[in-house]
Amino acid sequence: MPLSNLFRFSLLLLILSCTWACSSTKSAQKLSSGIVKYDIELDLTEEGQAMAESFGTSATAWFNLSHVRLQKESEVPDDEFYITSLETGMETAYIQFKDKKYAVLPDPRLLPGTGPIQFSEETKTIAGYVCRKATAKMGSGEMVAYFSEDFGINYCPYLDLAGFALEYTLILPFGKVTYRAREVQKGGISDAMVNPPPGFKKVSYTQFQEEMKANMSSSVVTEGDYKFQKQAIDGSMVNLSDYLGQVVVLNFWFTACPPCKAEIPQLNRLVSQYKDQGVQFLAITYDQEELIRPFLQQYPFDFTILPDAHDVIKDFEIFVYPTTIVLDKNGKIVNMIMGGGSTIHEKASALIEEAKKR
């Protein structure tokens, strides 16, 4: 599964994902099936630019009176897509990971709350359809949607609107993300395109995390895909194979990630705690050096930092940030800690102690 898709999935679940407010109106007078093609436009802050590739550039929604399937552009066809049941309003993420298929159910705890919907007299014509404007608070940001009442279903992220959203903007702390329909095609889709496909294992988000941990239980140093050599931000060269015989802690993070930033003081405590005990600490990010240096002036991070490490992140198939992985002296994964949290020091310390005994 490509990094862009894995990270995109992470963002959708932890930042953008939602239980879509949808229902079928079953009106014969309105468009009951078809295809909507969206362009994805980004207006991100300087910090948010580091996440630009995770959002993609376009998406397609196939719909009928029972389901909507949303899929972004992907390097691998059908590698990741989302199907919403219009009866329940629940969105399920379909993920193909290596030779396994997962239907990942949403975690309500990760969904941002929304405030009352404010409707405006303002209208806009999008892809040939006149759309009304609606806005609502969403978490610490705002949602702006333009929806058409000419469709036979109600489909809009976050907001319970009587129409189909042909444009919606998520105004987030790191900038704006806008989906704007460029084309609407009437009919011409099969039920198989939008109905839940067979052969996918239905799991909760937590179960999916555990499955990913299990898939990474082999030695990461002896497998060729995981042999990496990167230049650290301090100019030194880091070769993972050189650390055989030592415990290694890998932290995957990025500068615009609030939980990543929140756990840095606790991670620094680990470095101090295990100084001169044969434990190596590597912080791996896709951020560029010029973005990291000013960040470190405000938030000192005592790990050895490896910037622009897209290839390493892809090889480790990281999809949740932050993620901390502890390797034992043989390069074998002891365990992973996904999503950070207030107990990261205690959890990581316990894993380091376990790794030292192996």
Domain end marker among 182, 207, 232: 207
- Residue 293: partners with Cβ closer than 8 Å, 6 or more residues away: 233
Number of domains composing the chain: 2
CATH code at position 250: 3.40.30.10
Residue 121 β-bridge partners: none
Give the C-alpha separation, 136 to 141, whole Å: 9
Question: What's the DSSP call for residue 77?
Answer: T
Same domain, yes or no: 252 and 161 = no
Q: How many helices (H) and strands (E) does the chain have?
A: 8, 21
pLDDT tens track, the chain, 358 positions = 333 344 444 454 444 444 445 555 444 478 999 999 999 998 987 656 656 666 778 999 999 999 999 998 754 445 688 999 998 888 899 988 767 899 998 777 666 678 899 999 999 999 999 999 999 988 767 899 999 999 999 999 888 899 999 999 988 766 889 999 999 999 888 888 899 999 999 998 878 877 776 666 554 555 444 568 899 999 999 999 899 899 999 999 988 788 888 899 999 999 999 998 999 999 999 888 998 999 999 999 999 999 998 888 877 877 778 899 999 988 888 888 887 777 899 999 999 999 998 8
C-alpha distance from residue 230 to each of 55, 234, 235, 282 (Å) = 26, 11, 10, 11
Same domain, yes or no: 139 and 257 = no
CATH code at position 94: 2.50.20.10
**59: closest CA among 159, 180, 162?**
180
What is the length of the chain? 358
Tokens of 308: 């622009």
pLDDT at 141: 79
Question: Is the Cα torsion angle 165, 13, 288, 294 positive or negative in sign?
Answer: positive
- Residue 223: partners with Cβ closer than 8 Å, 6 or more residues away: none
Strand, helix or coil for residue 242: helix
Same domain, yes or no: 238 and 323 = yes
**95: closest CA among 281, 287, 329, 317?**
317
Task: Answer whether the bond into residue 322 is a cis peptide, omega within 30°.
Answer: yes
Give the C-alpha separation, 210 to 182, whole Å: 39
**103: closest CA among 74, 69, 75, 73?**
69
Tokens of 78: 């059908």
Global pTM reads 0.66
- Residue 276: partners with Cβ closer than 8 Å, 6 or more residues away: none
> Which residue type occupies 168?
Y
Q: What are phi and psi of 230, to 5 degrees?
A: -135, 155
Q: What are phi and psi of 54, to 5 degrees?
A: -70, -20
Same domain, yes or no: 197 and 223 = no
- Residue 252: partners with Cβ closer than 8 Å, 6 or more residues away: 284, 285, 313, 316, 318, 321, 322, 323, 324, 325
Is residue 213 in a domain? Answer: no
DSSP 14-42: III----EEEE---TTSB-SEEEEEEEEE
Under 8 Å between Cβ of 131 and 123: yes
Give the C-alpha separation, 274 to 312, whole Å: 25
The whole domain housing 322 covers 218-357
Same domain, yes or no: 300 and 265 = yes
Give the C-alpha separation, 140 to 37, whole Å: 28
Is residue 212 in a domain? Answer: no
Same domain, yes or no: 150 and 272 = no
Give the C-alpha separation, 147 to 133, whole Å: 7
Same domain, yes or no: 275 and 157 = no
Give the C-alpha separation, 343 to 114, whole Å: 29
Give the HSE-up count for residue 129: Cα atoms under 13 Å, Cβ half-sphere.
25
Same domain, yes or no: 22 and 162 = yes
Domain end marker among 169, 185, 207: 207
